[in-house]
Amino acid sequence: MGKMTVIIPSFNEEDNIENTAKVIGETLSDAGIEYNLLFVSDGSTDKTFDIVESLSKADKRIGGIQFSRNFGKEAAIFAGLEYAKGDCVAVIDCDLQHPPATLIEMYKLWEEGYEVIEGIKSKRGKENPFYKMFSAIFYGIMSSLMKMDLNKTSDFKLLDRKVVEALLELPERNTFFRALSFWAGFKSTSVTFDVAERKAGKSKWSFSGLVAYAISNTTSFTTAPLKAVFVLGVLLMIFSLVLGVQTLVNYFIGVAADGFTTVILLLLIIGGCIMVSLGIMGHYLARIYEEVKGRPRYIVSKTTDEE
Ligand code: UDP
Ligand code: MG
């Protein structure tokens, strides 16, 4: 028997907090699992944290922290890991899209000795086709790099204390929780769950936010795009060799190469490649700059009183 801390990242979720706390609390206590709930209000500007505070007064198992501003879900998860005291730690969305009943299944696996229990979506929830295509491309790249299928992974997980400590040891600020738990290794297993409809409120993701998230995750996890730049260079070199040979042959048979268009085209192609490559390198440079500054991942402005 061990205690479970449930981390719930919440950004402007005032309509969800109370119900979520009730549903998760009831599910766990019915199963006889000792728990506490840790709401991480990611710089919410609505009543999210006030509600957490009042719930916390009535029920000591509920607590929370408030960020000074919005730092993003990754930061919220890591703050939760830092503040969690349980022997095992779960991360679940505040909108009940992750079914709380699955927590029981995860807990049982943890008791059996598993240290990382991944929540895998049985299928992706309802999404618009554009979003679907985009995430398919992103996860396709990531999955082949990591040699595992990330498309159905989620942030819904249960981690053993040991794993939490290992993740907190990581010095970097730009993290990708979903993949890091795989990366960490340990004795792992997974459970599948059906993505439910969002209980109340709207999704916090905009399309541009998702693009930024995808790029940041790729660059924080792998240097493959940098290697792609090299591959691109090699391809261009081969192309220019072929073109050179062709021009030589033409010269000897006495056909003049038609110059102007070719020159402009080549300039454009090469220019484009250089710009893209510089952009990719610039992105990594920015990443290094961010890490070197060593700013904290998040700033906590308030916490509910601890027991
Ligand atoms: N979230 C957060 N910080 C953010 C955005 C979202 O803590 O900047 C939380 C949000 O409150 C929710 C979870 O992350 O509990 C998932 O967000 P959302 O439901 O908006 O994403 P979706 O389910 O649409 O992918
Ligand atoms: Mg959601």
For ligand 1, atom 10, name the residue with the nearest CA: 10
> What are phi and psi for residue 85, nearest 5 degrees?
-115, -10
CA distance 80 to 57: 20
73 ligand 1 Cβ < 6 A: yes
| Burial degree of 190 (CB within 10 A; 0-12, 13-18, 19+) | middle
Q: Which of 70, 93, 298 to mutate to test the pocket of ligand 1 (most atoms within 8 A of CB)?
A: 93
Look up tokens 């792609």; give the residue. 228
User: What does the pLDDT read at residue 25?
Assistant: 92
For ligand 1, atom 3, name the residue with the nearest CA: 73
Cα–ligand 1 centroid distance for 41 (angstroms): 11
User: What does the pLDDT read at residue 307?
Assistant: 44
76 ligand 1 Cβ < 6 A: yes
By DSSP bridging, strand 35-41 and strand 4-10 are parallel
Ligand 1 atom nearest to CA at 94: 15
Look up tokens 């600020």; give the residue. 173
Ligand 1 atom nearest to CA at 40: 7
Q: Enumerate the β-bridge partners of residue 220.
A: none
CB atoms near residue 220 (< 10 Å): 19
DSSP string, 249-264: HHHHHTPPP-HHHHHH
Closest CA to 71 of 232, 300, 307: 300
CB atoms near residue 179 (< 10 Å): 20
| Burial degree of 279 (CB within 10 A; 0-12, 13-18, 19+) | exposed
If DSSP codes are grouped into helix, strand and coil, which group holds residue 301?
A: strand
Q: Which of 67, 73, 194 to mutate to test the pocket of ligand 1 (most atoms within 8 A of CB)?
A: 73
Ligand 1 atom nearest to CA at 204: 20
| Averaged pLDDT in 10-residue chunks for the chain of 307 residues | 91 91 92 92 92 90 92 91 92 92 92 91 71 75 68 86 90 80 84 82 75 77 79 83 82 73 78 84 86 87 74
CB atoms near residue 48 (< 10 Å): 24
Q: Where are the alpha helices (DSSP H) in 47-172?
A: 48-58, 73-83, 101-111, 129-146, 161-169
The ligand with the least distance to the CA atom of 39 is: 1
User: What does the pLDDT read at residue 10?
Assistant: 94
* pTM, rounded to two decimals: 0.74
Q: Which of 24, 66, 77, 95 to mutate to test the pocket of ligand 1 (most atoms within 8 A of CB)?
A: 95
Q: Where are the alpha helices (DSSP H) in 222-258?
A: 224-253
HSE-CB for 234 with a 13 A CA cutoff: 5
5 ligand 1 Cβ < 6 A: no
User: What does the pLDDT read at residue 207?
Assistant: 76
